[in-house]
């Protein structure tokens, strides 16, 4: 968003600017995708409680 503002105000004429201004959006999408994948792997690796032990949420209720 900041780069779009800079683009509107300064209107740079460099050839590489067309590719660079969208880079933060691509990085944000990539980071969100990586977070989703890592979170799913973390949840899959978690084992259920051993025996009849209740989870934290069930215990609090």
Q: Percentage of residues in the chain with pLDDT exceeding 90?
A: 28
To the question of pTM greater than 0.85 for the whole model, the response is no
Query: What is the number of residues in the chain?
Result: 61
The pLDDT, as a whole number, for residue 28 is 95
pLDDT digits (tens, 9 = 90+) for 20-29: 888 889 999 9
Q: Is the pLDDT of residue 61 over 90?
A: no
Across all residues in the chain, what is the average pLDDT? 78
Neighbours of 8 (CB within 10 A): 8
Contacts of 6 (CB under 8 A, 6+ apart): 12, 21
Q: What's the confidence (pLDDT) of residue 53?
A: 59
- Say how far apart CA 38 and CA 42 lie, in whole Å: 6
């Amino acid at each position: 968003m900041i780069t779009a503002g800079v683009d509107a105000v300064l209107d740079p004429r460099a050839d590489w600017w067309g590719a660079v201004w969208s880079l933060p959006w691509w990085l944000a999408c990539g980071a969100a995708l990586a977070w989703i994948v890592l979170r799913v792997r973390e949840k899959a690796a978690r084992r259920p409680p051993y025996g009849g032990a209740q989870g934290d949420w069930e215990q609090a209720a």
